[in-house]
Amino acid sequence: DAGVIQSPRHEVTEMGQEVTLRCKPISGHNSLFWYRQTMMRGLELLIYFNNNVPIDDSGMPEDRFSAKMPNASFSTLKIQPSEPRDSAVYFCASSLGVAGNTIYFGEGSWLTVV
């Protein structure tokens, strides 16, 4: 039974480059979340979608970050241009409904910007 699938698992990129992280939620789930984990700030919610519609993007750090969910089975988080302070683990999660106790996280995308 496939869980939340994220790609790439690891990415190293140079400052100024565009980074695109991808997520395939669990089939049938209608809510999708993007979280970021850093040493300094821990796990932070960046944005979440319900039925493919962005509901709350107040956690998106700045205009360099954008997220899309063109359909129920795919979402992207894009950083353009990337900066070293964007280095973090980015987690995608999905749930049926928006209940916190039913969220399933992917394994994360480890991003390093040099």
For residues 27 to 66, the per-residue mask of contacts with another protein, x marking binding by CB under 8 A and - elsewhere, is: ----x-x-x------xxxx--x-------x----------
How many residues in total does the chain contain? Answer: 114
Is residue 48 a contact partner of residue 58, using CB atoms and an 8 Å limit? no
98 forms part of the interface with another protein (CB under 8 A): yes
- Looking at 86, 106, 111, 113, which residue binds another protein (CB under 8 A)? 106
Identity of residue 89: V
> Contacts with another protein: how many residues (CB under 8 A)?
24
Considering only the stretches 12-20, 64-72, 79-87, 104-112, report the one whose residues sit in contact with another protein under the rule CB under 8 A. Answer: 104-112
Tokens 């509901």 sit at which residue? 55
Question: Can you tell me the distance from the alpha carbon of 12 to that of 26, in angstroms, rounded to the nearest whole number?
Answer: 27
Report, in Å, the least distance between residue 62 CB and another protein.
Answer: 18
Looking at the chain, the number of H-run helices and the number of E-run strands are: 0, 11
